[in-house]
Amino acid sequence: MAGEVIRKKLLTGQQAAIEGGPGADRAWRVAFARATRDMMQLPVDFASLSISRLSLAELLDLPPERALILMLEGPQEGLGLLILSPDLLTALIEVLTMGKCGNQTPDPRKPTRTDAAMLSPLVDLALSHLEEALAEDGDLIWTSGFRYASFIEEARPLGLLLEDISYRALTARLSLAHGARVGDMILILPAEGRGRKPRRKANAVPDAVARPAFAAALATRVEAATCQIEAVVARMSLPLTEVMCLSVNTVLPLPSAALDRIRFEGLDGRCVAEGKLGQHRGMRAIRLTSGEWQDDQATHPPVAFAAAAPADFPAGSWESETPAGDAPLAFDFASFPATGTD
Enumerate residues 6+ apart whose C-beta is below 8 A from 323. Answer: 259, 329
Per-residue confidence (pLDDT) for residue 254, from 0 to 100: 81
Residue 168 has pLDDT above 90, yes or no: yes
Per-residue confidence (pLDDT) for residue 289, from 0 to 100: 81
For residues 150 and 240, state if they share a domain.
no
For residues 53 and 179, state if they share a domain.
yes
Enumerate residues 6+ apart whose C-beta is below 8 A from 292. Answer: 273, 274
For residues 141 and 244, state if they share a domain.
no
Which of residues 190, 214, 249 is at a domain's end?
Answer: 190
Residue 220 included in any domain: no
- Comparing C-alpha atoms, which of 201, 200, 74, 81 is closest to residue 142? 74
Per-residue confidence (pLDDT) for residue 283, from 0 to 100: 82
Residue 13 has pLDDT above 60, yes or no: no
Contact 86, 67 (CB under 8 A): yes
Average pLDDT of the segment spanning 65-75:
95
Per-residue confidence (pLDDT) for residue 265, from 0 to 100: 85
Residue 214 has pLDDT above 90, yes or no: no
For residues 158 and 72, state if they share a domain.
yes
Which of residues 190, 222, 254 is at a domain's end?
Answer: 190
For residues 160 and 258, state if they share a domain.
no
Residue 163 has pLDDT above 90, yes or no: yes
Residue 36: give its domain's CATH number: 3.40.1550.10
Contact 110, 68 (CB under 8 A): no
337, with CB counted inside 10 A (0-12, 13-18, 19+), is exposed
Residue 205 included in any domain: no
Per-residue confidence (pLDDT) for residue 297, from 0 to 100: 43
Residue 339 included in any domain: no
For residues 181 and 262, state if they share a domain.
no
For residues 309 and 234, state if they share a domain.
yes
What is the C-alpha end-to-end distance of the chain, expressed in Å? Answer: 73
Residue 341 has pLDDT above 60, yes or no: no
For residues 30 and 137, state if they share a domain.
yes
Per-residue confidence (pLDDT) for residue 202, from 0 to 100: 56
Which of residues 162, 190, 218 is at a domain's end?
Answer: 190
Residue 295 has pLDDT above 70, yes or no: no
Contact 100, 90 (CB under 8 A): no
Residue 201 included in any domain: no
For residues 21 and 167, state if they share a domain.
yes
For residues 145 and 244, state if they share a domain.
no
For residues 29 and 170, state if they share a domain.
yes
Q: Render pLDDT for 76-100 as a digit per residue (tens, 0 to 9).
A: 989 999 999 999 999 999 999 998 8
Instruction: Select the highest-mean-pLDDT range: 6-10, 176-180, 266-270.
Output: 176-180
Residue 19 included in any domain: yes
Query: What is the count of structural domains for the chain?
Result: 2
Residue 161 included in any domain: yes
Residue 71 included in any domain: yes
Enumerate residues 6+ apart whose C-beta is below 8 A from 300. Answer: 235
Enumerate residues 6+ apart whose C-beta is below 8 A from 248. Answer: 333, 334
Residue 4 included in any domain: no
For residues 94 and 37, state if they share a domain.
yes
Domain that holds residue 271: 230-332
Per-residue confidence (pLDDT) for residue 4, from 0 to 100: 54
Contact 318, 280 (CB under 8 A): yes
Residue 307 has pLDDT above 50, yes or no: no
